[in-house]
Structure 1
């Protein structure tokens, strides 16, 4: 029996606290696993998007480079044709002058 002012305090139920702690731990682990899986999916999705963007940009840059190359080839061909035409014109002029000089020489030597 209790004497005077003595109060009966129940002993803590450690098993209950341990089970609660284990339950909370398992719940936090499940939440963390779920968040991890969600983050992995987000990262995979972003990676795929980045790869697609990079591929798209690469294809665009290749097209630009090809276009620039074709333009440069056309410019080079045009310059080559112009210089070749100028060289031929100079050559023709030289041949005409040579022919005139030969005729003039022949005319002088027969006089």
Structure 2
């Protein structure tokens, strides 16, 4: 089993849960409010399965880093949050860090 696929599913469901946080408008909208918990539960399920084959330090860093990157992109394009060169460069550093952590398994 490829544990990175499970990790990717965990990341995608976490991103869906975080997006629903924004859509819930402070828990004032029922459906997105419920979906927060549904998506996070599914995310933790897949993350737990991924940890059977991945180091927790690497998996969590990838989970948090890529989740942050995806949410930043969603914020910019879907929620029309401001973007700037500094924000995009910072996002590139997050992605480079995730790639570096992934590659560290092969170098070490």
Give the TM-score, by structure 2 length.
Answer: 0.24
Larger radius of gyration: 1
Q: Which has the higher contact order (CA 8 A, sep 6+)?
A: 2
Higher helix share: 1
Give the TM-score, by structure 1 length.
Answer: 0.23
